[in-house]
């Protein structure tokens, strides 16, 4: 049994859509519907398009649900709920341009940039209210990472234990010999 049955006009519209569309999602949906109408199994279509079988069933159901809409509109991406990403294209170039500068040059009391400091910088200098996770994601997209400096204020000698032991031993031997000499003198 064929899951999707297309008439001649619908088949021509889908074939024309496959040739002319620039949207990958619409192309995949159109190909799936064309292959399903030719009698291919849902599992085979899903494997070929690297999607789940549930997605293919959902695409097939959309054809029957919205019969009042044009076929191309039924295959197109629908608007999603939630707040759209607005700062992705804005903060990436700002952070990229800032990556080579020293925070101290901009009157920050830090030697390295952190996500929190970049958030503060974007608020101070560009009046952008950005969250720290958004800045962290931008840093990951730009493949920027800073390592905190390791401060080594005093370095010990390579053989400091031996040197310490040799000094202690020499001091204790001279002290012991002085004590022995005093003891012998008093007796």
Distance of alpha carbon 53 from alpha carbon 40, whole angstroms: 13
Find all residues with CB under 8 Å of 178, minimum gap 6, and list them: none
Residues sharing a CB contact under 8 Å with residue 57, sequence separation 6 or more, in sequence order: 3, 42
Q: Dihedral sign, CA of 118, 121, 126, 131?
A: positive
pLDDT reported for residue 73? 78
54-64 pLDDT, tens per residue? Answer: 999 988 887 77
pLDDT band at 52, cuts 50/70/90? very high
> Across residues 150-160, what is the average pLDDT?
65
Read off the tokens for 125.
């200098």
> What residues does each domain of the chain span?
8-75, 88-141
- Tell me the pLDDT of the chain averaged across its residues: 79
Residue 47: pLDDT band by 50, 70, 90 thresholds? very high
Residue that wins the pLDDT comparison between 5 and 168: 5
Pure H helices in 50-114: 53-65, 71-75, 88-98
Per-residue pLDDT at 51: 92
**pLDDT the model gives residue 117:** 92
Residue 128 has what DSSP assignment?
A: -
Residue 8: which pLDDT band, with cuts at 50, 70 and 90?
confident
């Amino acid at each position: 049994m064929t899951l999707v049955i297309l008439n001649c006009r619908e088949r021509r519209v889908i074939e024309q859509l496959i040739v002319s569309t620039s949207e990958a999602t619409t192309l995949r949906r159109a190909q799936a519907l064309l292959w399903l109408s030719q009698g291919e199994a849902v599992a085979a279509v899903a494997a070929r398009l690297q999607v789940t079988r549930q997605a293919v069933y959902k695409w097939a159901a959309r054809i029957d649900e919205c019969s009042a809409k044009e076929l191309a509109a039924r295959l197109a991406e629908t608007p999603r709920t939630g707040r759209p990403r607005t700062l992705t294209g804005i903060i990436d170039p700002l952070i990229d341009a800032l990556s080579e500068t020293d925070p101290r040059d901009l009157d920050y009391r830090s030697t390295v940039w952190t996500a929190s400091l970049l958030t503060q910088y974007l608020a101070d200098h560009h009046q952008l209210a950005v969250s720290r996770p958004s800045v962290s994601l931008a840093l990951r997209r730009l493949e920027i990472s800073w390592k905190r400096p390791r401060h080594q204020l005093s370095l010990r000698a390579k053989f400091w234990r031996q040197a310490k032991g040799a000094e202690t031993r020499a001091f204790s031997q001279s002290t012991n010999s002085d004590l022995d000499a005093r003891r012998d003198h008093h007796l």
